[in-house]
Chains A and B, each alone.
Chain A
Amino acid sequence: MALFKKGSAAPSNVDTTANAAATPEKHQPWKELGLKEDEYARIREILGRRPTSAELAMYSVMWSEHCSYKSSKIYLRQFGEKVTDAMREHLMVGMGENAGVVDIGEGWAVTFKVESHNHPSYIEPFQGAATGVGGIVRDILTMGARPIAVMDQLRFGDVSHPDTARVVHGVVSGISFYGNCLGLPNIGGETVFDKVYQGNPLVNALSVGALRHEDLKLAKASNPGDQVILFGARTGADGIGGVSVLASETFDADGPSRRPAVQVGDPFAEKVLIECCLELYAAGVVAGIQDLGGAGLSCATSELASNGQAGMRVQLRNVLLRDESLTPEEILMSESQERMMAIVPKRDVAAFTAIVDKWEVEHSVLGEVIREPRLYINWGDEEIVNVPPRTVAHDGPVYERPVAYPAWIDALNADSSARLPRAVDAAALAEQIVEVVSSPNQASKNWITNQYDHYVGGNTALAMPDDGGMVRVSEETGLGISIATDANGRYGQLDPYAGAQLALAEAYRNVAVTGATPMAVTNCLNFGSPENPEVMWQFKQATAGLADGCLALGIPVTGGNVSFYNQTGDVAIHPTPVVGVLGVIDDVARRIPSGWQDEGHNIYLLGTTRDELDGSVWAGVIHDHLGGKPPVVDLAFELSLASALNAASEQGLIASAHDLSEGGLAQALVESVLRFGVGARVWLDEIKQVGGIDDTAALFSESTGRVLVSVGREDDVKFVGLCEARGIPVLRIGVTDGRAVLGGSAGSPSGGTASGDGTDARLEIQGVASWSLTELAGVHGGTLAELFG
Chain B
Amino acid sequence: MRIGVVTFPGTLDDRDAQRAVRLAGGEPVALWHADTDLHKVDAVVLPGGFSFGDYLRCGAIAAQAPVMESIIKAAGGGLPVLGICNGFQVLVESHLLPGGLIRNDVQTFVCRDQKLIVENVDTAWTNEFTLGQEITIPLKNGEGGYIADAETLKRLEGEGLVAFRYKDFNPNGSMNDIAGLRNERGNVVGLMPHPEHAVEPGFGPDTSAAMRSGVDGLGFFKSVLNSVVNA
Q: Do A456 and B112 touch (CB < 8 A)? A: no
Q: Do A271 and B12 touch (CB < 8 A)? A: yes
- Chain B residues closer than 8 Å to A449, beta-carbon distance: 111
Kindly report which residue of chain A lies nearest to residue B19, judged by CB atoms: A458
Q: Do A183 and B13 touch (CB < 8 A)? A: yes
Q: Do B9 and A458 touch (CB < 8 A)? A: no
Over the window 133-160 of chain B, the binary record of Cβ atoms lying under 8 Å from chain A Cβ atoms (1 yes, 0 no) is: 0000010101000000000000000000
Q: Which of A78-86, A173-181, A710-718 contacts B (4 or more CB under 8 A)?
A: A173-181
Q: Which of A205-213, A255-263, A494-502, A748-756 contacts B (4 or more CB under 8 A)?
A: A748-756
- Chain B residues closer than 8 Å to A180, beta-carbon distance: 50, 109, 140, 142
Interface presence of A737 (CB below 8 A): no
Interface presence of A439 (CB below 8 A): no
CB distance from A416 to the nearest CB of B (A): 41
Interface presence of A227 (CB below 8 A): no
Interface presence of B113 (CB below 8 A): yes
Q: Do A452 and B203 touch (CB < 8 A)? A: no
Kindly report which residue of chain B lies nearest to residue A478, judged by CB atoms: B202
Over the window 718-737 of chain A, the binary record of Cβ atoms lying under 8 Å from chain B Cβ atoms (1 yes, 0 no) is: 00000000000000000000
Kindly report which residue of chain A lies nearest to residue B14, judged by CB atoms: A183
Interface presence of B206 (CB below 8 A): yes
CB distance from B139 to the nearest CB of A (A): 9
Partner of A748, one of B13, B110, B113, B196: B113
Q: Do B111 and A455 touch (CB < 8 A)? A: yes
Interface presence of A588 (CB below 8 A): yes
Q: Do A461 and B212 touch (CB < 8 A)? A: yes
Q: Do A458 and B203 touch (CB < 8 A)? A: yes
Over the window 194-228 of chain B, the binary record of Cβ atoms lying under 8 Å from chain A Cβ atoms (1 yes, 0 no) is: 10110110110110101110000000000000000
| Complex CA distance for A455 and B142, rounded to whole angstroms | 15
CB distance from A730 to the nearest CB of B (A): 24
Within 8 A of B (CB), among A149-206: 173, 176-177, 180-183
Interface presence of A272 (CB below 8 A): yes
Over the window 203-231 of chain A, the binary record of Cβ atoms lying under 8 Å from chain B Cβ atoms (1 yes, 0 no) is: 00000000000000000000000000000
A450 and B12 contact, Cβ closer than 8 Å, known pairs A589-B202, A597-B211: no
Q: Do B169 and A749 touch (CB < 8 A)? A: no
Partner of B9, one of A360, A475, A593: A360
- Chain A residues closer than 8 Å to B202, beta-carbon distance: 461, 588-589
Q: Do A451 and B16 touch (CB < 8 A)? A: no
Interface presence of A510 (CB below 8 A): no
Within 8 A of A (CB), among B166-183: 168-169
| Complex CA distance for A614 and B49, rounded to whole angstroms | 47
Q: Do A451 and B108 touch (CB < 8 A)? A: yes
CB distance from A133 to the nearest CB of B (A): 14
Partner of B203, one of A177, A272, A459, A744: A459
| Complex CA distance for A360 and B33, rounded to whole angstroms | 12
Interface presence of B57 (CB below 8 A): no
Kindly report which residue of chain A lies nearest to residue B107, judged by CB atoms: A173
Within 8 A of B (CB), among A346-405: 359-360
Interface presence of A29 (CB below 8 A): no
Q: Do B112 and A751 touch (CB < 8 A)? A: yes
Over the window 238-266 of chain A, the binary record of Cβ atoms lying under 8 Å from chain B Cβ atoms (1 yes, 0 no) is: 00000000000000000000000000001
A268 and B9 contact, Cβ closer than 8 Å, known pairs A181-B50, A450-B111, A455-B197: yes
Partner of B169, one of A268, A676, A743: A743
Over the window 99-124 of chain B, the binary record of Cβ atoms lying under 8 Å from chain A Cβ atoms (1 yes, 0 no) is: 00000000011111110000000000
- Chain A residues closer than 8 Å to B66, beta-carbon distance: none
| Complex CA distance for A267 and B9, rounded to whole angstroms | 12
A455 and B140 contact, Cβ closer than 8 Å, known pairs A461-B202, A744-B206: yes
Q: Do A181 and B53 touch (CB < 8 A)? A: yes
Q: Do B110 and A593 touch (CB < 8 A)? A: no
Interface presence of B15 (CB below 8 A): yes
A676 and B203 contact, Cβ closer than 8 Å, known pairs A360-B9, A455-B111: no
- Which applies to chain A's interface (DSSP): helix, strand, loop or mixed? loop
Q: Do B16 and A458 touch (CB < 8 A)? A: yes
Kindly report which residue of chain A lies nearest to residue B17, judged by CB atoms: A458
Interface presence of B10 (CB below 8 A): yes
Interface presence of A454 (CB below 8 A): yes
Interface presence of A457 (CB below 8 A): yes
| Complex CA distance for A539 and B138, rounded to whole angstroms | 44
| Complex CA distance for A267 and B194, rounded to whole angstroms | 21
| Complex CA distance for A739 and B196, rounded to whole angstroms | 29
Over the window 264-284 of chain A, the binary record of Cβ atoms lying under 8 Å from chain B Cβ atoms (1 yes, 0 no) is: 001111011001000000000
Q: Do B110 and A267 touch (CB < 8 A)? A: no
Q: Do B109 and A676 touch (CB < 8 A)? A: no
Q: Do B50 and A271 touch (CB < 8 A)? A: yes
| Complex CA distance for A254 and B169, rounded to whole angstroms | 58
| Complex CA distance for A625 and B210, rounded to whole angstroms | 41
| Complex CA distance for A453 and B55, rounded to whole angstroms | 20
Q: Among A271, A360, A456, A458, which residue has the most Cβ atoms of chain B within 10 A?
A: A458
Q: Do B210 and A597 touch (CB < 8 A)? A: yes
| Complex CA distance for A449 and B111, rounded to whole angstroms | 8
A173 and B108 contact, Cβ closer than 8 Å, known pairs A458-B197, A588-B202, A748-B206: yes
Kindly report which residue of chain A lies nearest to residue B138, judged by CB atoms: A455
Kindly report which residue of chain B lies nearest to residue A678, judged by CB atoms: B208
| Complex CA distance for A177 and B142, rounded to whole angstroms | 9
Interface presence of A72 (CB below 8 A): no
Partner of B112, one of A271, A457, A744: A744
Q: Do B19 and A739 touch (CB < 8 A)? A: no
Partner of A457, one of B16, B113, B169: B16
CB distance from B11 to the nearest CB of A (A): 8
Over the window 1-34 of chain B, the binary record of Cβ atoms lying under 8 Å from chain A Cβ atoms (1 yes, 0 no) is: 0000000011011011001000000000000000
A268 and B52 contact, Cβ closer than 8 Å, known pairs A451-B111, A748-B113: yes
- Chain B residues closer than 8 Å to A676, beta-carbon distance: 206, 211
| Complex CA distance for A743 and B113, rounded to whole angstroms | 10
- Chain A residues closer than 8 Å to B109, beta-carbon distance: 173, 176-177, 180, 451-453
- Chain B residues closer than 8 Å to A517, beta-carbon distance: none
Interface presence of A116 (CB below 8 A): no
Kindly report which residue of chain A lies nearest to residue B168, judged by CB atoms: A755
| Complex CA distance for A458 and B14, rounded to whole angstroms | 10
CB distance from A446 to the nearest CB of B (A): 9
Q: Do A593 and B10 touch (CB < 8 A)? A: no
Kindly report which residue of chain A lies nearest to residue B7, judged by CB atoms: A275
Interface presence of A493 (CB below 8 A): no
- Chain A residues closer than 8 Å to B168, beta-carbon distance: 743, 755
| Complex CA distance for A755 and B208, rounded to whole angstroms | 14
| Complex CA distance for A739 and B169, rounded to whole angstroms | 22
Q: Do A456 and B13 touch (CB < 8 A)? A: yes
Kindly report which residue of chain B lies nearest to residue A472, judged by CB atoms: B203
| Complex CA distance for A743 and B206, rounded to whole angstroms | 12
Kindly report which residue of chain A lies nearest to residue B20, judged by CB atoms: A458
Q: Do A453 and B49 touch (CB < 8 A)? A: no
| Complex CA distance for A210 and B83, rounded to whole angstroms | 29
Interface presence of A52 (CB below 8 A): no
- Chain A residues closer than 8 Å to B197, beta-carbon distance: 455-456, 458
Q: Among A177, A183, A593, which residue has the most Cβ atoms of chain B within 10 A?
A: A183
A183 and B49 contact, Cβ closer than 8 Å, known pairs A271-B12, A456-B13: yes
CB distance from A171 to the nearest CB of B (A): 13
| Complex CA distance for A182 and B10, rounded to whole angstroms | 8
| Complex CA distance for A123 and B211, rounded to whole angstroms | 40
CB distance from B188 to the nearest CB of A (A): 24
Interface presence of A460 (CB below 8 A): yes
Could you list 16 A-B pairs, sorted by A, with CB under 8 Å?
Answer: A180-B142, A181-B50, A267-B50, A268-B55, A359-B9, A360-B9, A455-B140, A455-B194, A458-B16, A459-B203, A461-B202, A461-B212, A593-B211, A744-B113, A750-B113, A750-B205
Known: A267-B53, A360-B9; 4 extra A-B contacts, CB below 8 A, are A271-B9, A456-B140, A588-B202, A750-B206
Q: Which 6 A-B pairs have the closest CB atoms?
A: A268-B53, A183-B12, A458-B16, A455-B197, A750-B113, A181-B50
- Which residues of B approach A to under 8 Å, CB–CB? 9-10, 12-13, 15-16, 19, 49-50, 52-55, 108-114, 138, 140, 142, 168-169, 194, 196-197, 199-200, 202-203, 205-206, 208, 210-212
